[in-house]
Copies of this chain bind each other. A is one copy, B any other.
Amino acid sequence: VGRGVLERLARELAAEPPGRPLVPISDDRVAVLHAEPLARRLRHGGVEVLPVLRFPAGEASKIRETKARLEDQLLRLGVGRDAAILAVGGGVTGDLAGFVASTWCRGIPVVHVPTSLVAMADAALGGKTAVNARGAKNRVGTFHQPWGVYADVSLLATLPDAEYANGMAEVVKTAAVGDASLFRWLEGAVERLLARAPAAQAHAVEACLRVKARIVRRDERDCGRRAALNFGHTVAHAIEAASAYREPHGRAVALGMCAEARLACRRTGFPASHLRRLETLLAALGLPTRLPAGRRWGTRSLLAAARSDKKARAGRLRCALPRRLGRMPAGDDVTCEIDDAALSAALGALAARGPRSD
C-alpha cells in the first residue's frame, strides 16, 4: 500500500514472476488510464506481458458471458497453465479477472492492481471472485487467493467523485466491524480524505486491509466470522437488485448499514449513539443515509429482493450485526436471523424523509 508501490511490483515481477506470460485484464476505461501504462512499464523492465484484454466498464459486464469472451481471447493467444493474470481495475475487474484466473487450466495465479478505493480497501484482498447470473449477485464464483495485491493510492487521482464516495462506504464498513480506532480516525479525517490527501488515503486503505486480512485469515471460506464483512450488505444487495443496479454498490452499502445498524440496536445492543455517529460519518463523506426520494422501487420490492438473496439460509434472512462500532459479537456466527416485520421497520426508517435525506 502506498505511493510508488507499482515500481516495487515491476521489480518483483521481473525478479520472480508468478507466471509467464503475464496477461493484463482491464475495463475499457482503466485500460487507457492505468493498465496500458503499467503493461508498458513492466515490458520495459523485462517482464513478458501480453496485450491488455479489455471488456466494457461497469457492473453489467460482470457476467458469465464476459468471462467466456475473455477465455476465448486467452485461447486465441495460446495462454496455458504457466501464465498469470494481472487484474488492473476496480471491484468488477478484480472479481471477473480473478474468476477467469481461478478456472483457467484449473487455476493460474492472479495479481491484483486495484485502481478504485473499494477495490484497494476491500475487494482485492480475501480471494473472493464471482460474476452475477441473471441478476443474482455473485452467484457463480470461487475462492482464489491472489499472488499479491499492490494498492497505489496515487491511482485514485483519476477516480470519479461518485466512485470515490462509494469506496468510502466500504472503508466505513470495515472500521465499523473491526476497528473502533480507525472509525474514530475517519471521523477526524473527513476533510483530508475528501481532499484525497495521499497520506490519509494510504492510512485508511492499509488499516482496512489489516482488518480484512485478520478476519479472512480466521475464516477464508466464509463459513463463520467472515460474515462480519457483510455488515450492511444483505440490505445493500436487496437495494441493488430492487433498483435494477441503478443504485451503486457503495451507496447501497451506506444505506444497508443504516438499516442494519437499526436492527443491531434491537438485537445486539448496538448503541443508538453509535448509529448516529455512523450516519454522521457517512453523510460527511457524501454518502446517503436515507433512500433516494425519486426512486421507482418501494420497500416491498426491497423485502422481496432481500428474501431471495443467497444469504437467506433456508428462506430466512440473516444479517451480520455489530455489537458496537468496531466490535462484532463473539463466537463463530456473527449473524442474526431477521424477521420480515423487523426488516420492514428498519427499511421504513430509511424511507422516512429525514434531515439527511437526499
Interface residues of A (CB under 8 A from B): 20, 64, 68, 71-72, 75, 78, 80-82, 99, 102-107, 128-130, 133-134, 136, 138-143, 221-222, 308, 310, 312-314
**Which residue from B105, B134, B221, B314 sits with its C-beta under 8 Å from A139?**
B105
Interface contact B139-A75, CB-CB below 8 Å = yes
List residues of chain B with CB within 8 A of the CB of A222.
106
CB distance from A296 to the nearest CB of B (A): 24
- Check if B106 sits within 8 Å of A128, measured CB to CB: yes
- Assuming the A-B contacts A80-B312, A82-B314, are A106 and B142 also in contact, with contact meaning beta carbons closer than 8 angstroms in the complex? yes
Give the CA-CA distance A128 to B106 in the complex, in Å: 8
Some 21 contacts from A to B, beta carbons below 8 A apart, are A64-B64, A68-B133, A71-B140, A72-B133, A75-B133, A75-B134, A75-B139, A80-B310, A80-B312, A82-B314, A99-B103, A102-B142, A103-B142, A104-B139, A104-B140, A105-B139, A105-B310, A106-B128, A106-B141, A106-B143, A107-B221
Chain B residues with CB below 8 A from A130, complex form: 106
**Quick one: given A68-B64, A71-B133, A75-B133, are A107 and B142 in contact (CB under 8 Å)?**
yes
Q: Which of A80, A102, A136 has the most CB of B within 10 A?
A: A80
Which of B78, B81, B107, B142 sits near A308, CB closer than 8 Å?
Answer: B78
CA distance A142 to B105 in the complex (A): 8
Interchain CA distance A72-B140 in the complex, whole Å: 11
**Separation of A64 and B141 alpha carbons in the complex (Å):** 14
Question: Which among A129, A139, A313 has the highest number of chain B CB atoms within 10 Å?
Answer: A139
Assembled-state Cα–Cα distance A139/B129 (Å): 18
A270 to B31, CA, bound (A): 52
Copies held by the complex: 2
How long is the Cα–Cα vector from A103 to B221 in the complex, in angstroms?
Answer: 13
A71 to chain B, nearest CB (A): 6
Inter-chain CA distance A105–B143, complex, in Å, is 10
Q: Provide the residues of chain B in CB contact with A107, threshold 8 Å.
A: 142-143, 221
Q: Shortest Cβ distance from A103 into chain B, in angstroms?
A: 5
How many Å lie between the Cα of A104 and that of B139 in the bound state? 6
Give complex CA distance A313, B21 in Å.
11
The answer to whether A134 and B72 have CB atoms under 8 Å apart is yes
Closest residue of B by beta carbon distance from A128: B106
Chain B residues with Cβ below 8 Å from A81 are 310, 313
**Chain B residue contacts of A142, Cβ below 8 A:** 102-103, 106-107, 142
Alpha-carbon gap, A130 to B104, bound state (A): 10
| Complex-state Cα separation, A136 to B73, whole angstroms | 13
Min CB gap A292→B, angstroms = 28
- Return A147 CB to nearest CB of chain B, in Å: 14
What's the minimum C-beta distance from A74 to chain B, rounded to whole angstroms? 8
Report Cα–Cα, A129/B107, bound state, in Å: 11
Residues in B neighbouring A105, C-beta threshold 8 A: 139, 141, 310
Q: How far is the CA of A191 from the CA of B241 in the complex (A)?
A: 62
Is A82 a contact partner of B313 (Cβ separation < 8 A)?
A: yes
Please indicate the chain B residues that have their CB under 8 angstroms from the CB of A103 in the complex. Answer: 99, 103, 140-142
Which residue of B has the minimal Cβ distance to A221? Answer: B107
Q: Across the interface, which residues of B come within 8 angstroms of A313, CB to CB? A: 80-82
Q: Which residue of B lies closest to A309 (CB)?
A: B80
What's the minimum C-beta distance from A63 to chain B, rounded to whole angstroms? 10
Q: How far is the CB of A240 from chain B (nearest CB, A)?
A: 17
